[in-house]
Structure 1
């Protein structure tokens, strides 16, 4: 049995475009639930909002980086809002 997710990952359609939103303690179960709903291919996004994240598992870091890499390959600039926890984790990734 998969543990209940402790965080949130959603795709939101906003006036500024599609945004990947993460909040809380985004563990592997949270990422797995997102991937079951949306699939493994990164979605085109105009923003990543991780300003309310308290913790990111490695699958969550990979999810964010996959979306940022896909946007970069497509020539899109993505706005990223980061919490202090996300800032620490992404500090060594040139993001």
Structure 2
């Protein structure tokens, strides 16, 4: 597998959206890739994690991490990451 690199934008939002680099890498490594909804050439995948923690003053059982990325010749560049709690 090619190395995964998070863009500055993705890294800037990691704490605010509550995802880790390891979670993003695991989603890309293990998830089914499909075309992203927006952005030609962009791909997406997702992975759910048992969460059972508080996030923004509410307890959630599951966290889904959905990276949006581009596969380049030598690396995978993560453009942004969406995180859903439910």
Which structure ranks higher in relative contact order (CA pairs < 8 Å, sequence separation ≥ 6)?
2
**TM-score, normalised with respect to structure 2:** 0.22
**TM-score, normalised with respect to structure 1:** 0.21
Structure with greater strand percent: 2
Structure with greater helix percent: 1
